[in-house]
Structure 1
Amino acid sequence: MISKTRNRWNRRIEFGVFVVPAIVCILLSAIVPFLMSLYYSLTKWNGVGKHIKFIGLKNFREILTSDTNALKALVFTLEYTLLAVVLTNVVAIVLAVVLTKALKLRGLYRTAFFVPYIISLIIIGFIWKFIFTKGFDVLYEATGWGVFHWSWLGNGDLAFWSILFVAVWQSVGFYMMIYITGLQSVPGDLLEAASIDGCVGINRFFRITLPLLMPSITVALFLSLANSLKVFDIIYTLTFGGPGGATTSVTMDIYNEAFVNNRFGYATAKSLLFVFLVLIITVVQVKFTKSREVEA
């Protein structure tokens, strides 16, 4: 009886030693800040002063009814996300298909495409800002091509495509590796049987390979969708939301409200609405792509 009681207490102590620290970390890093954000979203506060005025749902009412900047930023973010997700995943799949073939320098090519992903987005942004400004000027003087003389970051439309290009270039290697892993898991005997039946080339890819690649597509779409919706670093370094707010994303708009306009409570309300929007979009995407998955 005594030994059973001792064993029970030992198991409880072991449970506490391993689980309680994790629970405390989750509380301090996620749950408590989230609850504080809920409170601050109902207040008028500059983020620094001691005076915090409770105003109820006024912040949310202003966002949903009269904040034109929020709407403009949302439209930009959705347009950017749609193009970034499509281009990134299409290019990544193409690269994955090419780099799973028996090429001599296959490993080197994979590394070359993956390296930009492990570099900080802030550094990537500053590098490409230098290229778009100083580098293109040098190329224009050397070649005389008008495309290098365009204001790639000073024109609203061109700035959009510049940000999109840098984002796809930086991240495509990571998603390429996801698709390479998925392609390597496709059964070879199934592809061979399809070839014997006359299903070859592009036809075999869309009928056999692509459906079996859906688990990888689900993961890649989820990650690229979430990252694109939360885009901030590249915009911060390349354009800071300009020119004239043409490239201001939702996250950039939240940053401006909190740290430029000193409306911390209002920015918190925007961030909560944005979190729920991202949650809804990603859940719908995962459920949709999961329903399209097939087993070999």
Structure 2
Amino acid sequence: MQANSQKRRARKTALEFAGYVAPAVFFITLFVGIPFVMCIYYSFRKWNGIGKTSEFVGLENYIRLFTNDPAFVSALKYTFIYAIGTVLIVNVLAIFFAALLESKIKGRGFFRAAFYIPNIISLVIIGFIWKFICTRVFEALMSITGWGIFGLSWLGDSQLAVFSTIIVSVWQSLGFYILIYVAGMQGVPTELNESADLDGAGAVRRFFSITIPLIMPSISFCMFHSVANSLKMFELIFSLTGGGPGTSTTSIALDIYNTAFNNSRYGYGSAKSVILFIIVLVISVIQVNFFKGKEVEA
């Protein structure tokens, strides 16, 4: 009797779990799973994205990627430069500002909100705002102040444009990562810092010996999130530079968009998408495993 009752409860729990999970599984399968499988399917075919028929070409799309597509190689190079610059700068600054906001600085609530506001604005809008700033606003400031920094072609020079996309991306996402690091620092036991203080450890020593190891889960998450987002970045670059000047700021995602939709080479664009997925997957797995190994218990 008791065994039957336990089975009924287990069955009821399983049905309740399935009822809660089923809608999410359905929509994820519909809008993510099926398109992903179709992307892999079309990556082995030649299709313009409109016609009813497509031609099987095997590995031809993948071979062409690395042997006869300098635009993709250029996009790959820029994407890695952009990702490395963005990930390093945003995480270092976020940890620094999080530490400041966790100190006894006045107006902490105001600064937390001020840092986070850009994160709630659409990336497309952010791109257009900074495009206006880098052209019209800087031009006006140059005429008023005469400072040479405002006279630079921030979006017209290929090297400066790369730097500009990194800086704007850091400005937009900084608040989110500050929030994660602040939450992590609030979980550090105060008695550990008090004990280290009694032992004569300075603020810098306490920060690197106690705080950093104990917020490693936050660092692991922020690194994973920033790496994945940087490698997939599209909206900001699309609205800020459009991939220019030339192709100096064309990311892999933007190159995929141009290939599939502007050049009507959907099959070839699908192959590029699969390569991007593999790159993001491999890098994310490596960095998550690396940082997970550094985590310690409080």
TM-score by length of 2: 0.94
Partner of 1:102: 104
Aligned partner (choices 85, 88, 92) of residue 86 of structure 1 = 88
Please give the secondary structure, in 2, of the residue aligned with 1:152: coil
**Which residue is equivalent to 1:233?**
235
**Matches of 1:162 and 1:150 in 2, distance apart?**
11
- Counterparts of 2:37 and 2:127, CA distance in 1: 34
Residue from 184, 203, 206 that aligns with 1:204: 206
Aligned with 1:123: secondary structure? helix
196 and 139 in structure 1: CA distance in 2 versus 1, 3 angstrom threshold: same
CA distance in 2 between counterparts of 1:136 and 1:123 reads: 18
Number of matched pairs:
294
Find the counterpart in structure 2 of residue 214 from structure 1.
216
Please, which runs of 5 or more residues in structure 1 have no aligned partner? Answer: none
Letter of the 1:72 counterpart: S
- Partner AA of 1:291 in structure 2: G
2:155 aligned partner:
153
* Mapped partners of 1:37, 1:257: distance in 2: 14
TM-score (norm 1): 0.94
Query: Residues of 1 paired with 2:214 and 2:231: CA distance?
Result: 27
Q: CA 1:22–1:152 in structure 2 vs 1: closer, same or farther (change >3 Å)?
A: closer
Which amino acid in structure 1 is aligned with residue 49 of structure 2? G
**1:174 corresponds to 2:176:** yes
**Partner residue, 2:226:** 224
CA distance, structure 2, for counterparts of residue 19 and residue 80 of structure 1: 37
Equivalent position SS for 1:48: coil
Q: Which residue of 2 aligns with 1:192?
A: 194
Identity %: 50
Residue 269 (structure 2) aligns with: 267
Q: Aligned equivalents of 1:223 and 1:16: distance in 2?
A: 29
Q: 1:188 to 1:15 in 2, by over 3 A?
A: closer
Structure 1 residue 66: Cα displacement = 1.7
Q: Which runs of 4+ in 1 moved over 2 A?
A: 10-27
Distance 1:27 1:126 in 2: 34
Instruction: Give the CA deviation at 1:53.
Output: 1.2
Aligned to 2:286: 284
Distance in 1, matches of 2:55 and 2:204, equals 62
Q: CA deviation at 1:16?
A: 5.8
Distance (Å, rounded) in 1 between the aligned partners of 2:25 and 2:44: 27
Structure 1 residues 124 and 23: alpha-carbon distance in aligned structure 2, compared to 1, 3 A threshold? closer
Q: Find the residue that maps to 2:131 and give its secondary structure.
A: helix
For structure 2, the 5+ residue unaligned runs are: none
